[in-house]
Structure 1
Amino acid sequence: MHFLGDRLEFPPVEMANDDGLLAVGGDLAPERLLLAYKSGIFPWFNDDALMLWWSPDPRMVLFPEEIKVSKSMRKVIRDKQFRLTQNTCFAEVLDQCAKVERKGQEGTWITPKMKASYTELHNKGFAKSYEVWEDGNLVGGLYGVDLGHVFCGESMFSLKPNASKFAFISLAMECIEKGYELIDCQVHTEHLESLGATLIPRSEFMKILKS
């Protein structure tokens, strides 16, 4: 495991341990965050005093054209139950994602410093949010970092059934339209798998990321 100093650099992802932990320390400057995503690395921790950087192998990704849309979700889309917007309330999406209780986790990795850093990335045009509305209320959404050919998904939330699915499917459809190669989902969850995401070797992920 590598300990980061003040220099803006990361070790090769191949140095990560079996759990995917690559490095400890550094800071959350927008420049470091952006370098991390471009290098196949992401931050994940619940204490600003101990910053952890990860690059798991295998990697959970969605090839946009492989998105799975169930019959029930097709009906939700057809009936126009939800309305989608982008980048209209980035801070609120972060706040809602931070409140989500997740199985096997205590607290949240979306710490105040993380919020501030991703907000800076958002102001620079790299971090983006997708918001889902029902009857004028924010009921779901997601956010992530847009690298131009890969969208690095960070977190999603849902206050109504199917709201986060609607956000994710909408993201995938837009990625198909724009010719994005994949959506980085980072680690496996059954929810993401049900939507078509799959595990691929980190080496394959890095080839696509660097293409």
Structure 2
Amino acid sequence: MWSETLQLDLAGDVDERAVEAQLREALQAGAGLLHLAFGRNLPGSWGAADCTLDLLFADAPPAHLDDLLNRLEGVASIRRLRYQRIGGGVREPGLAGGIWRTLLLRVRPQASAEQIRALEQDLLRMPAYMPGIRNWQLSRVPAPGPWTHVWQQEFARVDDLLGEYLAHPYHWAWVDRWFDPDCPDWTVDAIAHAFCPFASSLLGRAAPHSHH
């Protein structure tokens, strides 16, 4: 399975629905596309572009994907990131009309393997404390670049992200130590936080094809 998340900046006052229509027309005709999720990032997103696009292919992406993305009308810039799942879970695979949250993070070059594993374990424990996280997935980025991990969640309501998730003691009193340069466990030195509406669950679609 090939998984890729992309941040797209739009040109001027372009309607994101027109961009999505171009993508669906070009990709859904081909074989191998399991899921395409596209949404405009909501206010409160940080370090992100205008829109989030996620692509899920059963195998490799089509050979013309690079050209297709470069030729999209109304798109000023695209940042692509392939990732490989290392863990996750599904509570509501049929979730529809919810909120898709993507956290891109970069671990410090000085971080030890033990610190990185502990960070990953703490992130994957979050849903046990937060029932509002309906589906979730943590992935590593295999290629060198600005990000090392992708942490994704699906929520039924935006309040479950902005309320329970961000305000939960497990988050700010435990997990945040990995992100705080004033803490001895500081491991993450950069993040980007994007959240947008979604029509149907990507993680519910991906689960049967996951090997972890």
Q: TM-score, normalised by structure 1?
A: 0.29
Q: Which is strand-richer, 1 or 2?
A: 2
Report which structure shows greater RCO (CA 8 Å, sep ≥6). Answer: 2
